[in-house]
Structure 1
Amino acid sequence: MQQILELLPIALFFWAYSMSGETINVVGYTLTFDGIYTATAFLMIASVLHLGGTWLFTRKVERRLALLVLVIVVTGGLTLALRDNIFILWKPTLFNWALAAVFAGSHFVGSKKPLIERMLGSQLQLPLAIWQRLSKIWIGYFIMVGAMNLVVAYQFSEAFWVSYKLYSAIGFTLLISIATAVVVSPYLKESETSK
């Protein structure tokens, strides 16, 4: 559910970008959509509101969500302050590669458990080898998603990248969910039959 809610700021980013050149009146204030810059402002505001709403309703915030919002605010802030889209174009790569580093580092730092086991271990009972395989799949996923973002950012137009950002967020979320389910499902069946 959390990942679905995280798609809302991206959807608002996409919508604001699609409104480029349009002007609307909001409570007596005229807002002119100026492409990536207005879209970035919408992304930043929506992400901070999502973080605040999450904390307000649950009284806790996942570190991953906090990292995501931090990266959005920093890269978005630089994009707006310097009027240079390169910072927001790099945001998905920086975030995904940071997650890859954290997941990989969890194999060597702290407990013997990979980070994914620490996150989901209370919900799933899996052998250590499966947790490690799952962790490697997620690390590879984060690296691939970050690299794909750079390919699109540098090889295609800004408008194409904005569309890619929305649709790839949905597609890659489904992809990693399916990959995780494929790895985990045999063990879910085993645990149910052993009850």
Structure 2
Amino acid sequence: MRQLLEFVPIALFFIVYQMNGDTVTLGSWSHTVDGIFSATAVLMAATALQVLLTWALTRQLERRALWLLLAVCLFGGATLVFRNEAFIQWKPTIFNWVLALVFGASQFVGDRNLMERTLGSQLQLPRPVWTRLNLLWVANFLIVGGLNLVVAYGFSEETWVSYKLYSAIGFTLVLTVITALIVSPHLKDQEATDN
């Protein structure tokens, strides 16, 4: 459920971007949607609201959610202040590459990598499997960040906005399936041992 909640700000970004030139009226307030800039403002507000709602419902906040909020506000704010969409277009790349760096560095810091630290209380997996999972996520973050730049600079802004929505869903689904394929044989082994 939390994964689906993470897509709401991106979906709202996409929807508002598609309304470019439309006038939105709420009571006495009226605003003409200004493409990427209005979409960026909505992305910032929706991300902040998502973090606040998560905290209100669970009384917990993941570091990743806080870092994402910081990145969205920093790059979104720069986009709005300087009226330059390049800032918001670089946000997914920088965010994903920083995650790749953190996950990759975790292989060399401490006894357990970041995947094992995150999921180790829920799953008992052999060390090589944790390493494989961690490196899979590193590769995902590197690829997603690189492809974002290819689309941002090789295609139109409209294509990039669509790519941002559909790739977020697509890469998450693919990563989830591959992770499940890597983990599932070990879950069967674990169930057999428990019985």
TM-score by length of 2: 0.98
How big is the shift at 1:127?
A: 0.5
Partner of 1:137: 136
How big is the shift at 1:107?
A: 1.4
Matches for 1:37-186 after TM superposition, within 5 Å: 37-109=37-109, 111-186=110-185
Deviation track 1:58-98 (CA, whole Å, cap 9, x = no partner) reads 11110111111110000000000000000000011011011
Partner of 1:8: 8
SS in 1 for 2:30: strand
Kindly report structure 1 stretches of 4+ aligned residues shifted beyond 3 Å. none
Deviation track 1:168-189 (CA, whole Å, cap 9, x = no partner) reads 0000000100110111010011
In structure 1, the gaps of 5 or more residues are none
Deviation track 1:108-130 (CA, whole Å, cap 9, x = no partner) reads 22x21000100001111100110
How big is the shift at 1:27?
A: 2.4
**Paired AA for residue 147 in structure 1:** G
Distance 1:94 1:29 in 2: 35
Distance 1:60 1:6 in 2: 15
- Residue 24 (str. 1) matches residue 14 (str. 2): no
Distance 1:9 1:186 in 2: 35
Q: Percent identity?
A: 54
Deviation track 1:145-180 (CA, whole Å, cap 9, x = no partner) reads 000000000000000000000000000000100110
**Paired AA for residue 86 in structure 1:** A
**Paired AA for residue 52 in structure 1:** L
**Paired AA for residue 79 in structure 2:** T
SS in 2 for 1:194: helix
TM-score by length of 1: 0.98
The alignment yields a C-alpha RMSD, in angstroms, of 0.7
Distance 1:13 1:183 in 2: 33
In structure 2, the gaps of 5 or more residues are none
